[in-house]
Structure 1
């Protein structure tokens, strides 16, 4: 359940970790642009008395010098992490930092940026104000997913956006049996099933016809992917629920977690999904609100003018 937002001051951010990733299809800026931005951020932080640590992969990818550590070491030291990238980069960092309660600031150099919401060109004045404590904080929930085969735990991991069961390439529909809190909900023939957090409701779940969920809602949305029966509709269950899915039919199928880790499934496999004990805190610029983000990212503010309609 999302908790009460933290209160931050300039003294809250003594040690700052910096991460970035240039991933095919995710970036809208060149590697040189990103390198320059990372150097600019680090120089500013150092000049204002902060300790700066680069993630090892970030330092290697962009040929950066300074204090460099692996993510497990950083997680023990950082007071805040700045993530320069798209939502995919943020997903990966957030999942790894979730157990350590390190708040995240996202600078968008990607395509959409629901989670990395600070514009690349506006970052410096906003970062200055945020690191002085002028922030809006919000807490997001995660899911934990476990795969069981013949009663044995095969895989366990976290998901920030969603856990997705889907058919393999070239195969027909799969059949799933779904229980919630031990109660039978339905058998479903479809191309798959998405279980998403409120954060993930703006990702694959939205494309598949799911509803937008405000981040403060305590729910998990289940969205069928191209179901055989049109009566199979998205449903939101309490995030205190334990969802169990059994693969009972179809050819190939798999399950992925935030599209970043994938496991192949067999008939009889059970996937158990529930809210994780960990949460993630996002820090936004002062004045930020969720509805502004929706309007900007979903282009809700783009509509014909009255003058145009009259013509």
Structure 2
């Protein structure tokens, strides 16, 4: 049976220098996957930067935006960071994504590279689980004007510089004052991001089906400042009251330097990322495997 997906884009992790054994390995991996897709009857294109850095010129190249318009599936080869970057850019187009893990953890790139063909065969025929993840839309407001605008799939993090002291942040939810928090920073995480920085800062895990966010202080001055779960229909605003070298990070992949009085507003984006998983996939299977639950027991 031929693939349900006719136009498939391949986006891969690569060495920016294009040299060395890792670069060769990445090129071979992507070439092997592209050949596999072609054998399933798919028309394969490579994302432009992937094409430029691997030299696989036998395949046409497309920008991410063109992929969003012309392709009906995107295969992302790499780690979660690769998927986060592409997921934000493809979400407005509604193109589904499958992640093949060539990184370490792989919470959202969950297909192991070593047996990808066995896993992909039924998925390409239409046997898969579909998983939608909400994005966050963040804006940095300065003197009433937007000076930075970004989407985030994992989290929005406001934190101090490496050599600076604590920051003081005024937090509001839907226009209601919550608290002035003195801490090293503050994380607003989606359910997808609950397994990232928010988890290491003491936040809870949030199942991706829950329409919520987690507000997690980073090393708070007052120990009673604990993580709180909010409805993702809320708008969160964070104002910089005091502190030096304060910045805002969006999925740790884009950065805005902040001034006193700046306000970061975060609301639910109208866009959602579409992930496809193997049939029978369960979020709990992912947690058990990636977080090594049930190990070391009797």
**In the TM superposition, what is the alpha-carbon distance from 1:15 to its structure 2 partner?**
0.6
Which of 116, 127, 132 is equivalent to 1:123?
116
| Structure 2 residue 234 is matched with structure 1 residue 253 | no
Which shows bigger deviation, 44-53 or 99-108? 44-53
Contiguous gaps of at least 5 residues in structure 1: 1-8, 306-311
| Structure 2 residue 228 is matched with structure 1 residue 270 | no
Residue 178 of structure 2 is matched in structure 1 by 185
Which shows bigger deviation, 137-146 or 12-21? 12-21
SS of the residue corresponding to residue 41 of structure 2 reads coil
- C-alpha separation in 1, matches of 2:11 and 2:192: 21
Which shows bigger deviation, 32-41 or 9-18? 9-18
Residue 81 of structure 1 is matched in structure 2 by 74
Residue 164 of structure 1 is matched in structure 2 by 157
- C-alpha separation in 1, matches of 2:232 and 2:130: 21
Equivalent residue runs for 1:37-186 within 5 Å: 37-65=29-57, 66-186=59-179
- C-alpha separation in 2, matches of 1:23 and 1:230: 43
- C-alpha separation in 1, matches of 2:32 and 2:245: 48
Residue 6 of structure 1 is matched in structure 2 by none
Contiguous gaps of at least 5 residues in structure 2: none
Contact 2:3 2:42 in 1 (8 A): no
**In the TM superposition, what is the alpha-carbon distance from 1:10 to its structure 2 partner?**
6.2
- C-alpha separation in 2, matches of 1:134 and 1:77: 22
**In the TM superposition, what is the alpha-carbon distance from 1:94 to its structure 2 partner?**
0.3
Equivalent pairs counted in the alignment come to 293
Which of 162, 182, 187 is equivalent to 1:194?
187
TM-score, with structure 2 as normaliser? 0.95
Contact 1:17 1:80 in 2 (8 A): yes
| Structure 2 residue 27 is matched with structure 1 residue 35 | yes
- C-alpha separation in 2, matches of 1:105 and 1:48: 16
Residue 216 of structure 2 is matched in structure 1 by 223
Residue 281 of structure 1 is matched in structure 2 by 274
**In the TM superposition, what is the alpha-carbon distance from 1:183 to its structure 2 partner?**
0.5
SS of the residue corresponding to residue 129 of structure 1 reads helix
1:33-61: per-residue Cα shift (whole Å, max 9, x none)?
Answer: 32222112211222222111100111111
SS of the residue corresponding to residue 284 of structure 2 reads helix
- C-alpha separation in 2, matches of 1:96 and 1:295: 29
Contact 1:10 1:133 in 2 (8 A): no
- C-alpha separation in 2, matches of 1:219 and 1:10: 39
- C-alpha separation in 2, matches of 1:23 and 1:135: 31
**In the TM superposition, what is the alpha-carbon distance from 1:22 to its structure 2 partner?**
3.0
